[in-house]
Amino acid sequence: MMELVCPAGTPAALRAAVDAGAHTIYCGFADETNARNFPGLNFNRAELAEGVAYARRRGAKVLVAINTFPRAGAEDIWHRAVADAEAAGAHAAILADLGLLAYAAEHHPNLRRHLSVQAAAANPDAINFYANTFGVRRVVLPRVLTVAEITAINREIDVETEVFVFGGLCVMAEGRCSLSSYITGKSPNMNGVCSPPSHVQYVESRGELSAKLGGYTIQRNGKDAPAPYPTLCKGCFSSQDKVGHVFEDPSSLDASDLIPALAEAGVTALKIEGRQRSRAYVAQVVRSFRAAVEAVDKGLPVPPGTLASLTEGQAATTGAYRKTWR
Amino acid sequence: MSDIHTEFPTVPLLLASPLRLVPLAPLSQALTILARRMVANHPGLISRLGPYVSSSFAVDPTDLPVTLLLHPHPTSMRITLHRDPPRADARIAGPLSALLGLVHGTWDGDALFFSRDLVIDGDTSAALALRNAIDDCEIDLGAEIAGLTGPFGRLLMPFIALAERRTGMPLRRAEARP
Amino acid sequence: MQLTVGPNMYFWDAAIWRDFYLRLADEAPVDTVVLGELVCSKRLPFYQHHFQEVIDRLRAAGKTVAMTSLALITLKRERKLTAELVDMGLEIEVNDLSTLPLIPEGQPFSVGPLVNVYNEGTLRWLAARGADRICLPPELPLSSIAILAAASPVPVEAWSWGRLPLAVSSRCYHARLNERSKDNCQFICNADPDGRAVDTLDGDSFLAINGIQTLSASCANAAHQLDGLRQAGVSALRLSPQFRGFTRLCQMFRDLIDGRIDADTLSANALPDAPGGRYADGFLTGHAGVDWSAEVKRAGLG
Could you report the per-residue pLDDT of C181-228, keeping only the tens digit for each? 888 899 999 999 999 999 999 999 999 999 999 999 999 999 999 999
What structural domains does chain A harbor?
Answer: 3-169+251-325 (3.20.20.70), 179-244 (no CATH)
Could you report the per-residue pLDDT of A197-237, keeping only the tens digit for each? 889 888 878 888 888 999 999 999 887 777 778 899 999 99
- For residue A147, the SS3 value is helix
What is the predicted pLDDT for the residue at B3? Answer: 42
Query: Does position C269 have pLDDT exceeding 80, yes or no?
Result: yes
pLDDT band at B119 (very low <50, low <70, confident <90, very high): confident
A38 in contact with B, Cβ within 8 Å: yes
C-alpha distances in Å from residue C80, one per residue of C70, C73, C86, C111: 12, 10, 10, 20
d(CA B45, CA C66): 56
What structural domains does chain B harbor?
Answer: 13-138 (3.30.1050.10)
What is the predicted pLDDT for the residue at B167? Answer: 67
Of A100, A129, A239, the CB nearest to C198: A239
CB contact under 8 A, A280 and B4: no
Q: Indicate which of C86, C97, C111 best probes the interface with A, i.e. most A CBs within 10 Å of its own CB.
A: C97
Residues of chain A with pLDDT under 70: 305-315
What is the predicted pLDDT for the residue at B178? Answer: 47
Of A129, A190, A239, the CB nearest to C197: A239
pTM of the model: 0.93
- For residue C236, the SS3 value is strand
Name which of A138, A130, A155, A102 is nearest A266 in CA terms: A155
DSSP assignment of A25-73: EEE-BSSTTSS---TT-SB-HHHHHHHHHHHHHTT-EEEEEE-S-PPTT
- For residue A162, the SS3 value is strand
Are A78 and A51 spatial neighbours (Cβ–Cβ below 8 Å)?
A: no
Q: Which residues of B touch A209 (CB under 8 A)?
A: 116
pLDDT band at B93 (very low <50, low <70, confident <90, very high): very high
Cα dihedral A25, A29, A33, A38 in deg (nearest 10): 90
Q: Binding residue per annotation — C219?
A: no
C139 in contact with A, Cβ within 8 Å: yes
Query: Does position C302 have pLDDT exceeding 80, yes or no?
Result: no
What structural domains does chain C harbor?
Answer: 2-165+218-287 (3.20.20.70)
Percent of chain C with pLDDT over 90: 90
pLDDT band at B159 (very low <50, low <70, confident <90, very high): low
CB contact under 8 A, A178 and C119: no
Q: Binding residue per annotation — C250?
A: no
What is the predicted pLDDT for the residue at B176? Answer: 65
Query: Does position B107 have pLDDT exceeding 70, yes or no?
Result: yes
Query: Does position B162 have pLDDT exceeding 70, yes or no?
Result: no
State the average pLDDT for chain B: 82
What is the predicted pLDDT for the residue at C64? Answer: 97
What region, left, alpha or beta, does residue C130 occupy, with left being phi > 0 and alpha being psi -120 to 50 degrees?
left
Number of alpha carbons in the 13 Å side-chain half-sphere of residue C158: 30
What is the separation of C-alpha B9 from the centre of its chain, rounded to a whole number of angstroms? 15
What is the predicted pLDDT for the residue at B84? Answer: 92
Could you report the per-residue pLDDT of B14-62, keeping only the tens digit for each? 667 777 777 888 888 888 988 998 999 999 999 999 999 999 999 999 9
Q: Which residues of C touch A72 (CB under 8 A)?
A: 118-120, 140, 143-144, 147-148, 151
A237 in contact with B, Cβ within 8 Å: no
Could you report the per-residue pLDDT of C46-83, keeping only the tens digit for each? 999 999 999 999 999 999 999 999 999 988 999 999 99
Of C74, C203, C286, the CB nearest to A123: C74
- E-state strands within chain B: 57-61, 67-71, 78-82, 90-94, 119-122
Could you report the per-residue pLDDT of B121-131, keeping only the tens digit for each? 889 899 999 99
What is the predicted pLDDT for the residue at C301? Answer: 46
Could you report the per-residue pLDDT of C31-40, keeping only the tens digit for each? 999 999 999 9
What is the predicted pLDDT for the residue at B6? Answer: 54
A210 in contact with B, Cβ within 8 Å: no
- Cα of A253 to nearest chain C Cα, Å: 15
